[in-house]
Structure 1
């Protein structure tokens, strides 16, 4: 009886402690000014029936007096990532997962002026603390190894041979405090060949407080996000300081340009099948139009979309920790109709009621499934987005596998405003650049003006760090001022180095991906305005015939077998005549035994006869 009462009292105390702890945690999370979490979804139609979706999540830790923002109380800030930053002594972190190509000519400027966009593959840069460069590199290696395991990516392949140290191209988002004697190093690495898939999205969602179960994160489905024409995931961790102290801020962003027609078709038919003839949109005015010849028409501009048809699910209410006023915004002109559809159940009889609103900014309700409808009779009329201040193209020049060149073309479409920018490129060590071959050619875009700008008026500063074989990549940063309505082409040559056979990837004939270049426009105060990334390049190196080792092994083995067999026979055998060979053979034990058996059989046969 005493033991039963003791167990009952113990369980009661534990229950009270748990309830008190949960209540205190709830009070801490709800206390204004201590922690904060916001999430927001922006929908914007693009040309050719595409839809730009931007998911933004911001999480904050509890302020502390530490100038580095280190705190033992993370609140909604993910502890798993916070401990990695503390162990690797990282002050600010930026991680990008991107796939596809942003069409600047048709879509305009990327979201947030490219602040949260990345190049093809995986890109990482961070401010890492260290007493000297070797200590900072050790912390950098610790950072990339742990992030590789956290996000299921091959970040562990970022080593000294792929790490660069930008000087002008990257600016911190928050406070990088070195007033207390700390020394920070900016390091960057990129893996343009790294594929981005669902195994990278799952850890991304787990960092959110609602884990994709509620709020706008409930729309995130890898099959829909990674089927987009262009998509990018970004994680940015910085430190913000004010009168209350310093705290860490994490911004998680997902941008995706979705082909709505293809996404809806995938829902109707998960397995692609040919379109029926009666559903084809053919131009009947063509003379050759028939049952067997069809000239396709442009996509229909009369559209009616449901968010659940595009993402395959509705929004499962709001995240209880989201504190912002509006959770969803739609950027459409007046020719588009928008509807916010929420369905709630009555607590009395369980009946469902539907609420429809025509607003373009919505606030989600908790535990209320929500859908959004977009329809228009002319989907070609969309909200105008600002154009990029600079258009940049990059390509290889030359031919052959011994040497080559790179041409980067910059175009300022404005007719009255010059553009100042910093262009950053990094190349692997097996691309041996020749800086003395750098040439700049500029030309005016106005037909009436054929005067070419002088090189001194465009090139302002050049920073070049040469590569070291198998230890350090080459790094090139160029500051330029491009006059209005001017196009400038930057060219330079390089040699292709030979690799050891074990340094080639399994599919060596595919080539080597070269990381995109990064263009950052800056104002008069040296503050970044736009960030633009070029496409990646595919480099072909001299590739050996990997079948030759196999052929050599087979040929060598065959020759050795034939040679050894003949020599062995000559050394262990001797040549004799037939009579001597028969006599030697008859003296063998087995032959004598066979002879005895034959003689016995012959005797029995003669006796029986």
Structure 2
């Protein structure tokens, strides 16, 4: 008993510290829509002072064990996965606090030194199984290694550098409830309590924009000492509801109106649960209140003792019409990006990306484009021009050519933009003739080309902005020909086989002319003639008689 007491006392002394918090934020957007952001933050401090008891950290109270085991098994230091439906309209919605994700699936992983190439496919397949998504199409043939665009969340981990990072996107991936359900199960309270009760699939997928993501990384607790490592993870849901569909005539909104589900209990494992609201107008505010609560404020901290049937959001403005004031406190996107496909006089197609500077100051902009291998970039035709059609020389140019069925093309640029300037990046492409087995199930719909990414560092903040993805048509073979050939060959084989079967199975015998036919055949013939004679018409001579 004494030994067991000291053993458990020793284990408790090295037990990892965990924390978990939930936050809901409502934003009233300039176009009348409503943005709801759910943030679920995890923290787990891993103490590795004694290797003998290292396995004690395999037990977690709140941090998802499956995520920890995934990172340890595949030597992952940091990863980001997002599944998105719709396109974030930066000009209408502004720039979100946590950033926006591109359409479809996006994944980047920072591996340990020397493990990026041999662990990428294994890690992708593991995540595909976790979230029931078709991430297996993010193979090495559709993944690249950008050098300057993506930066790790962990600033003090020495093992993170661009050579150990892999990036890929999959615009054709459609998010559905099969992806949302396993995502919910990573939360400590699952669907029994907390904000996860509000995640009604019918309402989420009936919105203008919906995105779920998972960000997990390791970081050193101290800047000088990495003996203690802290595992952090943030799970985010970002959804934009159509304001006209809600029909908010009374300027009063509630969670029950948005999600058609009551709030219920607060997650008992959460250290902090809060709700905040913000209006894009400086002369307006959104006040939060609960049923029977006389205290109203812009931030509401929920307690575990109470049960919340609904939470109301009341929009309050100063005297006068809301539209009279043009002062806004929403973060506008400093850069706007638009991507499209054009065709020149020579008939060759070009990928064109327009980058517009919305700031009144000169900025340095970075550009990344990951193009699938079946669209070969002709980098010698690359042109970077401004609105006056003057060429701009990039200060940084990094290009990795594609290899058929091996890797995509990676194009990275950095250039300066004047205030209010629009820069156009254009490059010609050459389409590759695919094998008939390499086409997607709906080849006439076209092949997706991922969105371009533009990044900007200004005012101690990093902005990452995405363009729209492209759908490019490739040469499609006549898939009806195999069916026609199959039908024709089957018909010919049937005719030939039936003739051969007749020759092989029937028995032929010789009949003598003297003996004639057999008795049975003579009887059948006589009976046949007698029956037919009954139905024959009588001749004219027989009628006159």
Q: 1:174 to 1:182 in 2, by over 3 A?
A: closer
Within-5 A mapping of 1:492-511: 492-511=427-446
For 1:306, the equivalent position in structure 2 comes to: 254
Question: How many matched pairs?
Answer: 503
For 2:392, the equivalent position in structure 1 comes to: 455
Work out the CA distance in 1 between the residues paired with 2:161 and 2:148.
Answer: 21
1:262: how far off?
Answer: 2.6
Work out the CA distance in 1 between the residues paired with 2:266 and 2:191.
Answer: 11
1:63: how far off?
Answer: 2.8
1:396: how far off?
Answer: 0.3
1:139: how far off?
Answer: 1.5
Work out the CA distance in 2 between the residues paired with 1:341 and 1:24.
Answer: 45
For 2:125, the equivalent position in structure 1 comes to: 145
Cα contact 1:433–1:492 (8 A) shared by 2:
yes
Q: Which of the residues 110, 118, 131 maps onto 2:101? A: 118
Work out the CA distance in 1 between the residues paired with 2:345 and 2:512.
Answer: 73
Q: Does 1:409 align with 2:371?
A: no
Q: Does 1:191 align with 2:170?
A: yes
Q: 1:372 to 1:572 in 2, by over 3 A?
A: closer
Work out the CA distance in 2 between the residues paired with 1:509 and 1:50.
Answer: 35
For 2:266, the equivalent position in structure 1 comes to: 318
For 1:170, the equivalent position in structure 2 comes to: 150
For 1:472, the equivalent position in structure 2 comes to: 407
Q: Which of the residues 22, 34, 37 maps onto 1:54? A: 37
Q: Does 1:241 align with 2:185?
A: no
Work out the CA distance in 2 between the residues paired with 1:587 and 1:156.
Answer: 77
1:323: how far off?
Answer: 2.3
Q: 1:598 to 1:232 in 2, by over 3 A?
A: closer
Q: Does 1:43 align with 2:50?
A: no
Work out the CA distance in 1 between the residues paired with 2:453 and 2:151.
Answer: 13
Q: 1:528 to 1:88 in 2, by over 3 A?
A: farther
Helix, strand or coil for the counterpart of 1:168?
Answer: coil
Q: Does 1:72 align with 2:58?
A: yes
For 2:87, the equivalent position in structure 1 comes to: 101
Greater CA drift, 564-573 or 165-174? 564-573
For 1:438, the equivalent position in structure 2 comes to: 382
Q: 1:126 to 1:528 in 2, by over 3 A?
A: farther
Q: Deviation per CA, 1:270-305: give whole Å up to 9, x if none.
A: xxxxxxxxxxxxxxxxxxxxxxxxxxxxxx765332
Helix, strand or coil for the counterpart of 1:443?
Answer: coil
1:423: how far off?
Answer: 0.8
Q: 1:402 to 1:91 in 2, by over 3 A?
A: farther
Helix, strand or coil for the counterpart of 1:161?
Answer: helix
- TM-score normalised over the length of structure 2: 0.82
Q: Which of the residues 549, 554, 569 maps onto 2:482? A: 549
1:440: how far off?
Answer: 1.7
Within-5 A mapping of 1:264-413: 302-324=250-272, 327-332=274-279, 333-336=282-285, 338-342=287-291, 354-366=292-304, 367-369=306-308, 370-375=310-315, 384-398=329-343, 403-413=348-358
Work out the CA distance in 2 between the residues paired with 1:559 and 1:436.
Answer: 54
Work out the CA distance in 2 between the residues paired with 1:586 and 1:419.
Answer: 112
Cα contact 1:42–1:53 (8 A) shared by 2:
yes
Q: 1:528 to 1:125 in 2, by over 3 A?
A: farther
- TM-score normalised over the length of structure 1: 0.74
Q: 1:567 to 1:85 in 2, by over 3 A?
A: closer
Q: Which of the residues 200, 205, 208 maps onto 1:221? A: 200
Work out the CA distance in 2 between the residues paired with 1:302 and 1:584.
Answer: 108
Q: Deviation per CA, 1:129-178: give whole Å up to 9, x if none.
A: 253xxx53231111111111111111122111111111111110015744
1:255: how far off?
Answer: 0.8
Cα contact 2:156–2:219 (8 A) shared by 1:
no
Cα contact 1:92–1:176 (8 A) shared by 2:
no
1:559: how far off?
Answer: 5.2
Q: 1:203 to 1:567 in 2, by over 3 A?
A: closer
Helix, strand or coil for the counterpart of 1:63?
Answer: strand
Q: Deviation per CA, 1:526-578: give whole Å up to 9, x if none.
A: x76100011110010011121121122223444566678889999999xxxxx
Work out the CA distance in 2 between the residues paired with 1:406 and 1:148.
Answer: 30
Cα contact 1:144–1:155 (8 A) shared by 2:
yes
Work out the CA distance in 1 between the residues paired with 2:257 and 2:238.
Answer: 18
Q: Deviation per CA, 1:361-400: give whole Å up to 9, x if none.
A: 0011224114223346867679531221111111001179
Q: Deviation per CA, 1:46-91: give whole Å up to 9, x if none.
A: 1343111111111011332489x99434341100111111111111
Cα contact 2:277–2:288 (8 A) shared by 1:
no
